[in-house]
Structure 1
Amino acid sequence: MTEAMKSGGEGGVASPFSRVCVIGSGVMGAGIAAQIANAGVPVLLLDRKAEGSNPNALADGAIAKALKADPAAFMDPAAAKLITTGTIEDDLGKVADCDWVVEVIIERLDLKQGLYRRLDEVRRPGTPVSSNTSTIPLARLVEGMPERFARDFLITHFFNPPRYMRLLEIVGGPLTDPAHVARLTAFCDRSLGKTVVKAKDTPGFIANRIGTFWMQVAAGVAVEQGLTVEEVDAVIGRPFGIPKTGVFGLLDLVGIDLMPHIAASMTSLLAEGDRYHAFAGELPLVPKMIADGYTGRKGKGGFYRINREGGGKVKESIDLKTGAYAPSRRASLPPEGRDAAGLLGAQDRLGAYARKVMGETLAYAASLVPEISDDISGIDRAMELGFNWKMGPFALIDQIGAAKFAALLKQEGIAVPALIETAGDRKFYKDIDGVPNELGADGEYRPVPRPEGVLLLSDVRRKGKPVLSSKAGALWDIGDGVACFEITTKMNTFEERVLAILEKSIEHVKENFKALVIYTDATQFSAGANLGLAQFAANMAAFGEIKKLIARGQTVFKSLKYAPFPVVAAPAGLALGGGCEITLHADAIQAHAESYIGLVECGVGLIPGWGGCGEMLLRLAADKRTPKGPMPPVREVFEMIATARVSKSAAEARRMHILRDGDGITMNRDRLLADAKARALALVDGYTPPAKPEFHPAGAGGKLALNMAVDGMLRQGIATPHDVTVAGWLATILTGGDHDMTETLTEEQVLGLEQEAFYALVQTVPTLDRIEHMLETGKPLRN
């Protein structure tokens, strides 16, 4: 079992599959194999036999590429050891030892069916076989196959990259054994971290059916109405909760050369009267772009490119009619166009474009119920997770208003779907007795389906008010005597107001609850301290206030650590600086697999000031794998903090000792809060706060060794002059200041060293320059 799977949570449940075979080692096949290995399940990865001395070269090469991929396909490089490679020609018989077979070969029906016939001869009876196809209906895939094969066959449509894209569409046929759908749904949910949406056997399933229609409409209407690519991406972007890549940026990302293939596939499969046919025409300039190598980001560029002529670096965009490139210019939206409703009502060319594109797209989605899915929530989830929309089509219509949207469609000459008529002036989603409900095609509301064991803070909010709250945070009752504290500032950054509500929450939990979970359902757990406020205080020369804030943060975090109840931190996404430090002060961590945790203060010329240095020293010293003596923990902590290292997964955070052996990792984001609550309840019986620790300093000799290493990096050009200054203060803290190896330090003394270092550094010009640069550019300044 890999590091990703150790210790607790739904991610650590026993897998129903002891071994999985993935056939096809292209980008998708290798990615799926990597994610299954991330779940701790052995994988047999097969591909065609290669010429030369290594017949497994294709599959071996795919794993080698996956190990080097950025973003990384493996949560822990050790997971790659769970993958055994082979060839279809020589090793297909090994499928008999596998509990699930995933086919990920080229999208050709004849090749897939030929493989299925061979598989049917070697697999154990009852072993499920699934295809990752995104274009070929299940009915055609099993056509002519034995009924026993059809019973065991289904579609599992992953999205690329498989590790990071949460959506998985599962499609069963009329003969598919429901038990296979149930087992694969449970495994992909709990162990692979997927949000499983059950789709019907229709072309493109859900996300690609709507998403490709949306892109075709947006591109075609842009040419027809004479918009620039920048205008299109500005309009069909943030106002609708769609990523800033918009349409043309997204086409560059996925590959322009795929457009003709997708269009041809969809037009060949869809019924003659489907609205898709009205927008399926190819843009006139696309064939020449492809021929010239302008296939998007993987080629020389696409609708956007970077011109590096003359040693420069100029972003350019293409004219949709002439095909000529010119420097890209930012498009300006009308004043009322900051949100969907405002933009749709704008009486200018951009408003007209928005009404046509989003009118057609949202109407198309509504017209497909119940053809592609019985549940509107499934359609919304598919678009939210498959295309990264903040709101799916029906949530968007709710924001506009169903009645207003119907009027817009009539104004544009677009047929109003029956489901929109059914909604009338009602919303598609509404809360009934604190439970989210969705509107069905029959006009009745039903609870939005939730997988068993999922606990969402958004659902808790619907049912009542917080126990405590302020503009910076809130304390919620999540049942069974467990409270949940969430930060509610922008990017969940820490400031005085957060510390104040956290302090109140700790006192309230003492009297009224058994345990506390620190969690947020926001995308990022915490980006750390509010640098903007720190810069403001420094510019006002209010350094005394900064010193008070550091001392207060230390006090509150230690109150959390020594509280008379268990505390579980449940990070997901970024947990940086103070976000990492609050995690370090919890009794246990239940982290989402995609947690990016680190003490990054040195990047802005500071050091961790809220106990992070001492807590990391304690973690390293307690680990049995750390060599004995005061210096090994110091050296490792120094390197991690000085380089502002951030984990690329929760598994890597464990290797960095941020997570300890007893901490857990949850693969599915929607299950994180429930897992953290369960972990907190498991700690309640017999709980006692941790004992106050002692620190054994490495002394002057240790500090000298660290400083010499940094000086060497300065001479090599790896470190900057201010890096040396910051590292010097960090070395002072970690080696015990003026104390020598014969002494012991209390926790309060180490905190005092942190305060002294932070206060000294925040008053230096190079640190203030780093803070300002980070706030302005989002990137560290190397000074």
Structure 2
Amino acid sequence: MSGIRKVAVIGAGVMGSGIAAHVANAGVPVLLMDIVPEGATDRNGLAAAAIARMLKTEPAAFMTPRAAKRVEACNVEDHLGRLAEVDWIIEVVIERLDAKRALYRRIDAVRRPGTAVSSNTSTIPLDAVVDGMPESFRRDFLITHFFNPPRYMRLLELVTGPQTDPALAETVADFADRRLGKSVVRCKDRPGFIANRLGITWIQNAIAAADDLGVPVEEADAIMGRPFGIPKTGVFGLVDLVGLDLIPHTTASLRAALPPDDAFHDSYREMPLVSRLIAAGFTGRKGKGGFYRLNRTGGQKTKEAIDLASGAYRPARKADLPELKDAKGPRAVLDLPGRAGAYAWRVIGATLSYAAGLVGEASDDVAAIDEAMRLGYNWTWGPFELIDRIGGAYLADRLARDGRPVPPLLAGLDGRSFYRVENGRRQVLQPGGGYRDIVRPDGVLRLADIKLGREPLLTNGSAALWDIGDGVVCFEFTSQSNALDEQVMVLLGKTIKLVKDRYKALVVYNEGTNFSVGANLGLALFAANIAAWGEIEKLVHLGQQTYRQLKYAPFPVVSAPSGMALGGGCEILLHSDAVQAHAESYIGLVECGVGLAPAWGGCTEMLGRWQASGTLPKGPMPAVARVFETVSTATVAKSAEEARDLLFLRPDDGITMNRDRLLADAKARALSLVAGYAPPKPVPLTLPGSAGGLALRMAAEGFARRGIATKHDLVVSGELASVLSGGEADILDTLDEDAILELERDSFMRLVRTEATLDRFESVLETGRPVRN
């Protein structure tokens, strides 16, 4: 099998259609099939409706609407023969053995030999699903368990059988890795595999313990969330997110499949409350609510939480647990007196104990189990990384004191940790006792690995510079949320001088959740409150000059964003020679939302890009209008592909699907630019002047009359209009970068002095959103 060029997905439900959408995101055509409902006028109606639904889904299933055109609606009655066209068939039908086996017999009759066939089952072992199928089918069969939503969840659990062709399994794994952006974790053929077997155990323990100990759902989520590196949804919020109705279904499958002596059964509890909620349509966020809901009575939106004892909703309240703030680390939380510590220990003790028992059962690899939980449930630390933080001896001793079995893996630690760093390499403990190096797949380069046992070339409180080999260095933001401040600019200036003298190229990259959320608003608000206007203007000017130095440096600069790249984070991309973006990059100039206009060259660069794009009518006004529309509305691209449409990325900028491959791809792109490199030449801009600015302000006033723009929006958009149109310039004048940067700087300083802009700063810092004033 030479590669995967076309895919079929059978089953157009939420999961199947999501998988089809993500295959289409990878640029691969997909046949999406489902049954023909009785009496249907459109025989492809179920698949067609699924495609239409995904175009409206939030968060978006497609990276751009164009991707939907790669998904073809089909049905299994008329089009099953078309499976001969594809290289991979993914079954995503009901979790019933009889239904799956009947479908496999039909698939086997029409597919080409060597075509991969996989099931997305989350609980049924492979051996059971292919029982009775011919050897030729079993050779081409495997389980590929995606997590929902398939576009965003990076984990793919892969299970092969004793007869599965290893080369075919490798082809599927490589496609899932490079094209779909998945971290492929190989699991043993056991019920629930890794992530759901452990994750459902954790959820059951957490719900039962909250019920037994009288812990309100808000407190349970606060305890079970950030202190243990678990998303702030905690457990009850997570169940609402994935759907209450999925939990009993998965639990029932695991109860039926796991042997009676498995510790999973110890965590099981009949939950009549959950059954009542599901029966009444309270299935979580996709339904009328779940453990939490929004009560819209009387036109108001009031967040409510359920009382586990009575089953009645009450107003949600913030967890009153000041002791959590003082607890330093997960072990300190386990030692807290009262019900907070008791709840934490009851859940985490049982979950980590169960995880230790899965080594050799679900997987022989401790690191694989950790990877599955980090990516499948968004834990910051996998269970064994968490054990290292808590202390293996502490965990074993406390389990023993409670009279609970101590898994042999924990009992045999003998003071060792599961992970260690030796000779600059991270190693993991093997079940047999020795350590092995953690080896990354070819093409994977992690900054965290590079930093082990090394010192940065340059560093300060907000950034660091690392040598990543082959004459390339990596500039890393290290401030909170990777916000940009004076220290970032100072170190970037020093970096430019160092690279010029000693290195070939520079990559701007980090492994935070977000590339950068923009300038540090807290520092700006503090400076404004003490009227330090000179300091604010100094930082604006420093940012402008530093980014210009970056743009015209005598060596290639490649930025590699992932997550949010907003405001100043976007502007550093605009000043780079090339961008290698993770597919899930959300890029935009959002300054207008907080009451400012972009001032680190964002306006200047976007004007230049749109005027040079060749996609707009001739004349100065079309590019100005397009940039005004994008920037005044604080538009953020919802994917790297969409960022190309908005020209935050150029057409030839690269997109990497797998986050773990981003740094290696960016480094390769930087090296490809070294030979014969010459910095870009400044391009003067012809702008429409005051008449153009007036036209833009009139358009903004029209939005205000329709109730879309607020009073301060008009002030901000008026300043933006002045910058983009060239201020008082004549329509025949050309302006160089210095002139437009001066307009940006003056506009910024006028806006930052307004009370309404400072109110927006304060609102963002307190609530995460600007006030609409």
TM normalised by structure 2 equals: 0.98
Aligned residue number for residue 39 of structure 1: 26
Question: Which deviates further from its counterpart, 336-345 or 755-764?
Answer: 336-345
Question: What is the aligned-residue RMSD (CA, Å)?
Answer: 1.4
| Residue number among 2, 9, 13 corresponding to 1:26 in the alignment | 13
Which residue in 2 is equivalent to 1:356? 346
1:49 aligns with 2:27: no
Which is further off, 680-689 or 771-780?
A: 771-780
Task: Give 1:636's match in structure 2, choosing from 589, 614, 626.
Answer: 626
Aligned to 2:750: 760
Equivalent position of 1:707 in the other structure: 697
Q: Choose from 10, 17, 24 the match for 2:4.
A: 17
Q: Which residue of 1 aligns with 2:721?
A: 731
Structure 1 residues 224, 127: closer, same or farther in 2, change over 3 A? same
Matched AA of 1:749 = A
Quick check: 705-714 or 657-666, which moved more? 705-714
1:295 aligns with 2:293: no
Within 1, Cα distance between the matches of 2:10 and 2:401?
Answer: 50
**Matching of residue 568 in structure 1 with residue 558 in structure 2:** yes
1:3 maps to: none
Secondary structure in 2 matching 1:90: coil
Contact 1:602 1:726 in 2 (8 A): yes
Offset of residue 15 of structure 1: 9.1
Corresponding letter in the other structure for 1:97: E
Cα distance in 2 for residues equivalent to 1:744 and 1:253:
53
Q: Distance in 2 between matches of 1:743 and 1:435?
A: 59
Superposition map of 1:242-261 within 5 A: 242-261=230-249
More deviation in 222-231 or 173-182?
222-231
Deviations 1:19-69 (A, max 9, x none): 111111111111100110110011111111143331111000000000111
Aligned positions of 1:529-678 closer than 5 A: 529-678=519-668
Tell me the secondary structure at the aligned position of residue 85 of structure 1. Answer: strand
Q: Which amino acid aligns with 1:135?
A: T
* Structure 1 residue 466, shift from structure 2 partner: 0.5
Where does structure 1 lack aligned partners over 5 or more consecutive residues?
A: 1-13
d(CA) in 2 for partners of 1:198, 1:693: 52
Shift of 1:338: 5.0
* 2:472 aligned residue (473, 482, 495): 482
1:776 Cα deviation after fit:
1.8
SS at match of 2:586: strand
Corresponding position of 1:233: 221
State the SS of the aligned residue for 2:149.
coil
Residue aligning to 1:129: 117
Report the 3-state secondary structure (helix = DSSP H, G, I; strand = E; otherwise coil) of the residue aligned with 2:55.
helix
1:377 corresponds in structure 2 to 367
Partner secondary structure for residue 534 of structure 2: helix
The 2-side partners of 1:349 and 1:782 are apart by: 41
Instruction: Give the equivalent residue in structure 1 for 2:515.
Output: 525
Shift of 1:258: 2.7
Cα deviation 1:462-490 (Å, max 9, x = unaligned) = 04111011111001000000000011111
Q: Is the 8 A contact 1:95 1:122 kept in 2?
A: yes
**Which residue, 420, 426, 436 being the options, matches 1:436?**
426
| Greater length-normalized contact order (CA 8 Å, ≥ 6 residues apart) | 1
Alignment map for 1:62-211 (pairs within 5 Å): 62-211=50-199
**Aligned-residue offset at 1:426:** 0.8
> Given residue 632 of structure 1, which amino acid in structure 2 is its aligned partner?
P
Shift of 1:584: 0.4
How big is the shift at 1:304? Answer: 2.0
What do residues 116-157 of structure 1 show as CA deviations (whole Å, max 9, x unaligned)?
001101000111100001021100110000010000000000
Stretch moving more, 122-131 or 728-737: 728-737
**2:305 — aligned with what?**
317
- Whether 1:466 and 2:453 are equivalent positions in the alignment is no
Aligned with 1:677: secondary structure? helix
Find the aligned partners of 2:109 and 2:527 in 1 and give their Cα distance: 73
**Unmatched segments (≥5 aa) in structure 2:** none
State how far apart, in whole Å, the 2-side matches of 1:15 and 1:456 are. Answer: 29
What is the percent sequence identity of the aligned residues?
Answer: 58
**Equivalent-residue separation in structure 1 for 2:208 and 2:766 (angstroms):** 37
Give me the whole-angstrom Cα distance separating, in 2, the residues matched to 1:309 and 1:722: 31
Amino acid at match of 1:466: P
**SS across alignment from 2:77:** helix
Alpha-carbon shift at residue 619 of structure 1 (Å): 0.8
Kindly provide the CA deviation profile for residues 646-696 of structure 1, in whole angstroms up to 9, marking residues without a partner as x.
Answer: 000000100001111111000000100000000000000000111121111
1:355-434 correspondence to structure 2 within 5 Å:
355-434=345-424
Conserved in 2, the CA contact under 8 Å of 1:219 and 1:283? no
Aligned to 2:333: 343
- What one-letter code is carried by the residue in structure 1 that aligns with 2:9? V
Is the contact between residue 592 and residue 669 of structure 1 (CA under 8 Å) also seen in structure 2?
yes
> Which whole-Å CA distance do the structure 2 matches of 1:504 and 1:686 have between them?
24
Rounded Cα–Cα distance in structure 2 between residues aligned with 1:261 and 1:725: 54
Q: Distance in 1 between matches of 2:162 and 2:336?
A: 47
| Secondary structure of the corresponding residue to residue 46 of structure 1 | strand
Paired amino acid for 1:347: P
**CA apart distance, 1:408:** 1.5
Tell me the distance in 1 between the aligned counterparts of 2:757 and 2:316: 35
Q: Is the 8 A contact 1:360 1:414 kept in 2?
A: no
Question: Matched residues in 1 for 2:398 and 2:203: separation?
Answer: 20
For residues 239-279 of structure 1, the C-alpha deviation after alignment (integer angstroms, 9 at most, x for no partner) is: 11111221222222222223332222111110111011122
**Contact 1:581 / 1:611 at 8 angstroms: preserved in 2?**
yes
Q: State the distance in 1 between where 2:314 and 2:652 align.
A: 57
Q: What is the CA–CA distance in structure 2 between the aligned matches of 1:633 and 1:96, rounded to whole Å? A: 48
SS in 1 for 2:305: strand
Contact preservation (8 Å) 1:15, 1:191: no
Aligned-pair CA distance for 1:163: 0.2
Does residue 697 of structure 1 match 2:687?
yes
Please identify, of 567-576 and 690-699, the stretch whose mean Cα deviation from structure 2 is larger.
Answer: 690-699
Matched, 1:330 2:318: yes
Tell whether the 8 Å contact from 1:15 to 1:41 is kept in structure 2 after alignment. no
Residue 16 of structure 2 aligns to which amino acid in structure 1? Answer: G
> Which is worse superposed, 340-349 or 490-499?
340-349
Cα separation, 2, equivalents of 1:23 and 1:634: 47
Amino acid at match of 1:137: P
1:185 is aligned with what amino acid?
A: A
Once residues 732 and 57 of structure 2 are traced to their aligned partners in structure 1, the CA distance between those partners, rounded to angstroms, is 47
Letter in 2 for 1:76: T
CA distance in 2, matches of 1:260, 1:731: 56
Deviation digits for residues 225-252 of structure 1, max 9, x if unmatched? 2322222222221111111221222222
The whole-number CA distance in structure 2 between the counterparts of 1:267 and 1:42 is 38
Shift of 1:537: 0.8
- Name the CA distance, whole Å, in 2 between partners of 1:685 and 1:627: 36
Comparing 730-739 and 322-331, the one that deviates more: 322-331
> Which residue, 55, 58, 61 being the options, matches 2:49?
61
Distance 1:324 1:381 in 2: 38
Contact kept? 1:152, 1:177, Cα under 8 Å: yes
User: In structure 2, what is the Cα distance between the partners aligned to 1:309 and 1:385?
Assistant: 38
CA contact (8 A) 1:422 1:441 kept: no
